[in-house]
Structure 1
Amino acid sequence: MAANSTFTSFFHRWLSRQEAFLRQLETLDGINSRQECSEIIPRVFSHYQEFYREKSRAAHDDVFLLLSAPWLTSFERSMLWISGFRPSILFPIIGDSVAGELSAEQRQRIEAVKAETRRKEREITQAMARVQETVAEQPVYSLMRRFGKLVDGEVAEFDAAMEGLKAAMLVVVENADALQGWTAAEVVEILSPAQGVKFLAAVARFQLQARRWGVEKDSERERMAADAAFPPPA
């Protein structure tokens, strides 16, 4: 099965479980259910880890496909950084979900995580820019210009150059995914179990609402295109 259809099928199943987790998170009483809060957080992280494992497999199959993410809506793709949401997007969500409950120490620690996250984001963004720039450098650029007219030795050289490009992009994607996981884990470590539940619920809600809005807008666009192509009879 093609990488696209394989990961798309997994992603749809994963989103259904994400909705189930959100319902569970929203039903917990953070004041009276400390044990339940403590128990569900590792399960939610395991759910995300499953996503990253499958995403890594898809990236190894075709990292170029992963960067275009056809399983996402056009709205979701507009927010992509490398091949996922920018990790620093979590900090406004913290502010919206638990800001009023944070101690001075928690705020200070979260600010430190935010600074480190943004520093690493810049490094990864610069690394991706360097990889993309290699496409316009020798020998890749010269070989691409003559693609379709390459002789046998040049075909092998072109294939080797593209494999190098894919390998470099794969490293960047894996580093970006690792930073996303690191940032979320560091934040939840700082929060109490009750705060962690509220934060994870807000993250899931954000993702699912972005998905629903994107699906709705894509459907509207498709209906408009269909109406323009096949207008009703006068």
Structure 2
Amino acid sequence: MSKLPFPSYSQESGTDSFHKFFERWLVEQNQHLKELVASEATKLTDEKLQALIGEVVEHYESYYKAKSKWAKHDVLAMLSPTWRSSLEDAFLWIGGWRPSMAFHLLYSKSGLQFEAKLKELLQGLRTSDLADLSATQLAQVDDIQKRTITEEREITDMMARHQETVADASMVELSHVVSEMLRANETEEGGRKEVEDKVDSTLMPKEEGLEEILQRADDLRLRTLQGIVKILRPKQCIHFLIAAAELHLRLHEWGKKRDTSRRVNIQ
């Protein structure tokens, strides 16, 4: 069970609270990774493996619950997370990883293990890892992948339509009214308050729309992970979760190092 304190929102802390939560979440994920790797070398029962898998999945759930709560206060920060590196940011889809990436990860790891265990497989031996996916499992994965891709495209289209609203009639009218007021030097206290109120009332539905889209994207991300976990046998699931954690942690590490190096070079 995740032991992380739930991040609380305050005007003073800004995004610092969630940033600190994320860093602690990464530390806990790294600990889970060590436990997953250690489980490979031990003869744990399926029951104990399932308990470990449950803890890891719950850890992901805790992240999305915290993110959903924080998005109600600052959805823009969730869509442009400063706690991630430039490398990670370049591959983000609506504030996180693309759900269909989970299937590419599964197939990539499966292919690598298949090549490594080809001799055993040709001899009819069971490997208990992702090289040993059954026909039924592959069909189930294919089914959930198709449904995930369809929903992913729907959310992408939803985001595209919402992004276009930045140039709708309300925004164009607002920008014109503000420009006219500035040109007329209506910048006294009353004028500034009127402008701020107009801006807030126009932008509020834009941010609410972004929050809804982010919620759908995060929900699909979590459901995709949960769906794959249900299909895999315990030992296979351990290998999948190890690959997911390793990729996440290493990308974050490599990205942070590149960002630091870039800043040093610029100075």
TM-score, with normalisation over the residues of structure 2? Answer: 0.80
Matched, 1:3 2:34: no
Among 69, 88, 93, the alignment partner of 1:57 is 69
Instruction: State whether residues 30 and 195 of structure 1, in contact with CA within 8 Å, keep that contact through their aligned partners in structure 2.
Output: no
Q: Distance in 2 between matches of 1:120 and 1:30?
A: 38
Q: Residue in 1 aligned with 2:57?
A: 45
Instruction: State whether residues 99 and 148 of structure 2, in contact with CA within 8 Å, keep that contact through their aligned partners in structure 1.
Output: yes
Q: Distance in 2 between matches of 1:145 and 1:209?
A: 47
Helix, strand or coil for the counterpart of 1:127?
helix
Q: Residue in 1 aligned with 2:37?
A: 26
Matched, 1:118 2:149: yes
Q: Residue in 2 aligned with 1:230?
A: none
Helix, strand or coil for the counterpart of 1:188?
helix
What is the CA distance between 1:4 and its match in structure 2?
A: 1.3
Q: Which amino acid aligns with 2:147?
A: E
Q: Distance in 2 between matches of 1:200 and 1:27?
A: 13
Instruction: State whether residues 94 and 217 of structure 2, in contact with CA within 8 Å, keep that contact through their aligned partners in structure 1.
Output: yes
Matched, 1:207 2:248: yes
Structure 1: tracts of 5 or more residues without a match? 227-234
Matched, 1:179 2:208: no
Matched, 1:170 2:211: yes
Percent of counterpart pairs with the same letter? 31
Q: Distance in 1 between matches of 2:109 and 2:52?
A: 18
Q: Distance in 2 between matches of 1:118 and 1:21?
A: 29
Matched, 1:102 2:114: no
Among 202, 208, 230, the alignment partner of 1:161 is 202
TM-score, with normalisation over the residues of structure 1? Answer: 0.91
Q: Distance in 2 between matches of 1:26 and 1:213?
A: 21
Are the structure 2 counterparts of residues 153 and 75 from structure 1 closer, same or farther at C-alpha, using a change threshold of 3 Å?
same
Instruction: State whether residues 178 and 195 of structure 2, in contact with CA within 8 Å, keep that contact through their aligned partners in structure 1.
Output: no
Matched, 1:81 2:93: yes
Structure 2: tracts of 5 or more residues without a match? 1-11, 111-129, 183-190
> How many residue pairs align between the two structures?
226
Q: Distance in 2 between matches of 1:115 and 1:85?
A: 17
